[in-house]
Amino acid sequence: MTSKKTRNFEKALPEGYRQALYINTKSAKFGLIFNAIALLVLLLVMAFAVLTLYIGGTDGSDIFDVGSTQMLSTYLIFLGAMLGYVVLHELVHGIAYKAMTGEKLTFGMSWSCAFCGVPHIFTYRKTALTSVVMPFAVFTLLFIPILILFYFVHPLYYLLASFLFGLHLGGCSGDLYVLCLLTVKFKDPNTLMRDTGPEQFFYIPSEEKTGN
């Protein structure tokens, strides 16, 4: 019996496939490059946030113009939101993988990033694309109205939400790299990806040429 989900992945690498690329996010090179990109994105987002406040006529003095109790609860909520974001980001990858394959997931954390994978199968390009893009799409759409709202509510809330948004965008740099690979380098829908979480293996039917 062939269920709909089995068309989204293979249990074993089919004959005639060869490995075309291997990514290891735990490697020093990958981890340093993508964390540097994440930091740069965060700085750019914060610069944009400060600029928009300045343009809106906020002078620095009203940023911390909240009561001390409210300040403390604001920072606690901010810390909770930051941790919650990391968990939810990986969960969204997982939901996409689970919905499309029904297979066992893996979650974890390495020195360079948090991760979610579906290590025992080979997912087709469509499945890999869906899972990789989902947290970026979901949280970007969620953050934009929150940022607009907070901009008008209080500059401190706006700055903290911008910081989270910057972490989100920067934290998606690895995902967006894989998204680029799958949309530019591996256009063949028969491309398979094995995602162990920290590592991604790409396979293509061997008669095809890479690097076009």
Site residues (vs Zn ion, CB under 5 A): 175
**Any idea of the CA torsion for 29, 176, 18, 118, to the nearest 10 degrees?**
100
Closer Cβ to Zn ion, 175 or 199, answer by number: 175
Closer Cβ to Zn ion, 26 or 154, answer by number: 26
DSSP code of 62? G
Q: How far apart are CB 97 and Zn ion at their closest, in Å?
A: 11
CA atoms of 63 and 151, how far apart (whole Å)? 11
Closer Cβ to Zn ion, 8 or 200, answer by number: 200
User: Could you give the angle at which helices 155-171 and 28-55 cross, rounded to 10 degrees?
Assistant: 150
Q: How far apart are CB 199 and Zn ion at their closest, in Å?
A: 14
Q: How far apart are CB 203 and Zn ion at their closest, in Å?
A: 21
Closer Cβ to Zn ion, 175 or 195, answer by number: 175
Sign of CA dihedral 48, 53, 55, 59: negative
Q: How far apart are CB 21 and Zn ion at their closest, in Å?
A: 18
CA atoms of 187 and 69, how far apart (whole Å)? 54
- Tell me the residue nearest to Zn ion as measured from the CB: 175
